[in-house]
Structures are given as C-alpha cells and as structure tokens.
Structure 1
Amino acid sequence: MTFPRISHLARCGAVSLLAVGLTGCAIDSSSDSRQAENGAVQVFAASSLQPIGGELERAFERENPGADITFNYGGSTALVRQLANGAHADLLITADTASMDSARTSVPELSDAQPHTIATNRLVLVTAANNPAHIHRLEDLASGEVTTGICAAQVPCGVIAHHVLDQAYLQLGKAAEEENVAAVATKIATSAVDAGFVYSTDAAALARQGKTTEIPLPQAEPNQYPAALTASGSHNVKAEKFQQWLASAEAQKILRDHGFGPAPEGSTTASPSTDRRTTESTASAAAGRA
C-alpha cells in the first residue's frame, strides 16, 4: 500500500509534552517495533520512483508472504529533512548521492548506513502536448513567452537543471518552480507550463499520456539512486530483504522497463550485517594464522 505516513514528531507533538511527551514517543517506538515484527517496511523514496513504486511493492510482496511495503514519496531533500526531524523509515532511496550523503551526516539513524545504488536516471526537457510554444532546443526557453517548469534548486532535479542552464549561460523567460519532479511532470501533463525539466522516466510516462516532445540534454550527467537502511531498518528482516531484492534481476527489469538505467559498475555496497560477518570472519582467520 502507498500513503503518506504521519511522522514520529507529528504524533508526539499532538500530545501535551508537559503531560506525556516522553511516554508518547516511547509508545511510538514500540509501535514501530511491532510493525517490523509484522513484516511492515516503511520506505522513503524520491518522487521520481512513484510511477513504479506500486509495481515494485507488489512483486516483492508476492515473493515474500507477510511483507507489507509502504512508500512515502517526496523530494529527496524533503525526505532527509523529515527523517532529521524524527520521522520513521526503514529504508531511504534518494535521487542523488549528495542527498544521501547529507542524510548520513544529519540523520543519526543513517550515520552508519551502507548505501548502494539501485538505478540511474537522466534529466531531459519535455514539452506540453502538441508543443504549443514550438520549443525545439534549450535556447527557446529564454523567450519571455515561454513558461518552464523546474525543480527547486536544492532538490536533485533542480540541481541538475540549474547546472545545465548555467553551462548554456541561459536564463529562463518565465519559471514555474516546484518542490519535486513529480510536480513538474504534473504541470507538463496539464499544459500548465510550456515545457519542463523532468527525468527520462517521467518523459516516458508523459509520452504515453499525450503527444509530447522530448529534447535530450547531453550535458546532463546521469543521477544515481542510492538506497540505505536506517538503524532500525537494519534490524527489520523484511526491510533488509527488500533492499537486497532491489538489486535482483526481477527488480532491475521493472526499473529498466520504466526507463531507469542500470547502477554503475561496482556501486553495490554490502549490507551492514554482511560487513560485520565479513569483518568477523577475517578477524577469526587472522587470529588462526597468528
């Protein structure tokens, strides 16, 4: 199932801190523990994964009876901010490595995380259906008659888009700034903008809805999607299995079918439990040789 989850802090804040603040938070932690025991897995995922989240969820749950995956989507920086403010998640998937690095330094639950990249994507420019503004190249966006959807500068899709514009020494004629790429895609789909910067996966979905024009951006480097277990997630068997499953042939086929690229060679990192087992085995062997 997929629905927004009320954050840990929001639930605790709803109770008078003077009366039962700490007790309320303690009860919430027990609730999270019980959910993990029941197979519940809370995944915080970049909004660009929303079109395929349900398919990934269903495929994993078919293979793992008792698992119950719940996705919470948002801009990568917004997700990191939610976690830093106390929201609970078992697994975080961001749309770039910078957001994951930020999470590992600002979120105690992720300080020892071992992320691995599950996929890549690429930013493109897509016009509204039938291209009413006659946009055929990046430079056309400088016209004062053209409105372009673009992600906020602090989220991955915005970082890349602004970098592309800076490289071209180009300023948008009119900009409609959105908090995540899904919001930009919606503006394109409803012709609320003449064009917008979205990922190639969003472009594929938009093409199925109407006659859009996709303009490649060769100067845009592919962005990576690292996935990392939180401290609580590393003790959730189903969460650990789901992270590992995302690298499986079946999961990778689902990602590929929706336009995602493969993870870079050598980008997979062993899970924390594997690292511990490897370290312990190495230590034992060394002790034996000594």
Structure 2
Amino acid sequence: MTRSARRNRRMLQASGASAAVLLALSACSSSDSGDGSGGDSGSSSDKLSGEVTVFAAASLKESFTTLKKKFEKEHPGTKVTFSFGGSDSLAASINGGAPADAFAAASPKTMKMVTDKGGTDGKPSTFVRNELEIATLPGNPDKVSSLKDLTKSGKKVVLCDKSVPCGAATQKALDASGLKLTPVSYEQDVKAALNKVVLKEADSAVVYKTDVKAAGDKVEGVEFPESAKAVNDYPIAPLKNAKNPDAGKAFIELVRSGEGQKVLGRAGFLKP
C-alpha cells in the first residue's frame, strides 16, 4: 500500500470515529431532553403532598373551605387543615410557635403582629377586602335602618371585641357617625357575634357582609353608609417556620388566582 493510500485510509477511519461519537452524543442529548421534559410536568419535586395548615380569619371559613376541596382535588395526597378565629388570637398563636404554613388575616394590623416578629416568609399581600353590615333577626322586626337605631334603649346589640379586626372596624364606623354604643357583649370573632343573633340571644350585631350572606335566611342584613369608612384589607402570607412551605405557598397561589377570587367574590368579598 502506498504512503498516499495509507494516509487516506487513516483519514477515513478518523472521520468514521468522529461521526460515531457525534451520533452517540446526539442520542444521549435527545434522551436527556425527553426525560427532562417529562420530569418537569410530573417530577416528584413538583408534586405536593402532606398536610397544609392554614390559619385564617373566621370570616373566611366558608370560602376557604370551598377552596380546600379544589386544592385537594388538584393535588392528590394533600390535606388542608384550617384554624379559624379572631386574627389577633391567631397571630399570637403563630408568634407563640403554633405550627402553620400560611396566615390569612382580616387586617394589616393583625398581620403586622406576625411580620414584626419576623414570622412571615416574604411580604404579605392583600387578596380581598370586606365591609361591615348590621345583622338583625329575620324580617328585621325592630325596623333597624341605621347605626343610630342600635343605640335605642332596650336593644340587645352584640359587637366584635375591639382587639379583633371586625371590632376595630366597627369602632371606626361609630367614630365616623359620632355615635356611642354599649353592647350586651363583645365577642372574640365575627362568627361568635353573628351567632348571638342566629340563636336569638341578641337583636342585632355588627359583622361583615360576607358573614350575613353566609348565614342565609337566619339573619337579615342592613347596610349603613359609615361602613364605607371602615373597610378592612385582608393580607395573606406564607410563614417562615412552615412544615410544608411549598404546599402553603401553592394554597396562597390558589387564593390569589382568578378562580380563587371568583369563590371569594361569590361570598361577598370585595376585590383588593
């Protein structure tokens, strides 16, 4: 074999080896790409599971319970557990170490109780607003038409405690109207105040519109103009010491989503 022929043969062998390497690399790349795209849509890192604990203002009970069902359906293997109550009590529990993944408060002031202690994972965001309404007995037998009517002698009126958001908002409305009201009791959350009327232990209560709506025909709602000066913003935030942080953030995403806002809107909440 001539020197030229040997050189040509070596060149062909090298070209063949290079082509084989390129084909192998291409196959690996294609295989990796396919595995990667499949992993993005159904990887274990993206799959949520376990218990999600949400602390939420009492007025959110009905709408959040609806969202719980949707969340658990979308994320099989998860279970949403709620602790509903007065926002100030919930904030105090979180600051005291109670385990929770997310907190939805009925006012920025009560959320600040947690943020001031460094308890939130990021800045809270307002997701809805809520307005006050007077809840009376069905049929409104006392013909209540304003806040002033609640000051009449002999009327059993219940208010939320001033330490909770609905009570603080009620006080703002009373201040705006220049009225003083002495209730028969102060309740620790809005559901407790409303329940006094439902059980006919009180003639009326100042609560949120959403709670009047949720009660259906058990009470009758009466709007009053001063409520416009006492609208509460509701902030929500993931918590720093969350046991299931990814699921907690996913629940917050659902609350803030278009579908979540529809559920909250149907419950009577106002847009943020």
Indicate the TM-score class for this superposition, using the shorter chain for normalisation: 0.7 to 0.9
**Could you give the per-residue CA deviations for residues 128-170 of structure 1, whole angstroms, max 9, x where no partner exists?**
2122333221111111211111000111000010111122221
Q: Which residue identity lines up with residue 60 of structure 2 in the other structure?
A: L
Check the 8 A contact 2:146/2:222 in 1, yes or no.
Answer: no
Aligned to 1:164: 173
Aligned to 1:80: 91
Residue 45 in structure 1 maps to residue 56 in structure 2: yes
Aligned-partner SS, 1:109:
coil
Aligned to 1:99: 110
Residue 202 in structure 1 maps to residue 211 in structure 2: yes
How many corresponding residue pairs? 225
Looking at structure 2, the residues matched to 174 and 258 of structure 1 have their Cα atoms a distance apart, in angstroms, of 27
Check the 8 A contact 2:136/2:222 in 1, yes or no.
Answer: yes
> Which structure has the larger Rg over C-alpha atoms?
2
Structure 1 residue 211: Cα displacement:
5.6
Structure 1 residue 178: Cα displacement:
0.4
Counterpart pick for 1:188 among 193, 197, 203: 197
Percent identity over the alignment? 30
Given the superposition, is the C-alpha separation of residues 235 and 42 from structure 1 closer, same or farther in structure 2, using an over 3 Å criterion?
closer
Aligned to 2:119: 109
Looking at structure 1, the residues matched to 79 and 182 of structure 2 have their Cα atoms a distance apart, in angstroms, of 46
Residue 254 in structure 1 maps to residue 267 in structure 2: no
Check the 8 A contact 1:135/1:141 in 2, yes or no.
Answer: yes
Aligned-partner SS, 2:256:
coil
Aligned-partner SS, 1:141:
helix
Check the 8 A contact 1:126/1:215 in 2, yes or no.
Answer: no
Looking at structure 2, the residues matched to 95 and 132 of structure 1 have their Cα atoms a distance apart, in angstroms, of 31
Q: Which residue identity lines up with residue 218 of structure 2 in the other structure?
A: G
Given the superposition, is the C-alpha separation of residues 202 and 235 from structure 1 closer, same or farther in structure 2, using an over 3 Å criterion?
closer
**Could you give the per-residue CA deviations for residues 248-273 of structure 1, whole angstroms, max 9, x where no partner exists?**
1111111111111112xxxxxxxxxx
**Could you give the per-residue CA deviations for residues 39-63 of structure 1, whole angstroms, max 9, x where no partner exists?**
2110000000112222110011111
Aligned to 2:157: 148
Q: What TM-score does the superposition give when structure 1 sets the normalisation length?
A: 0.73
Aligned to 2:21: none
Q: Which residue identity lines up with residue 99 of structure 1 in the other structure?
A: T
Counterpart pick for 2:254 among 245, 258, 264: 245
Looking at structure 1, the residues matched to 138 and 181 of structure 2 have their Cα atoms a distance apart, in angstroms, of 20
Counterpart pick for 1:214 among 216, 222, 239: 222
Residue 225 in structure 1 maps to residue 225 in structure 2: no
CA RMSD of aligned residues (A): 2.0
5+ residue gaps, structure 2, are: 1-47
Residue 71 in structure 1 maps to residue 82 in structure 2: yes
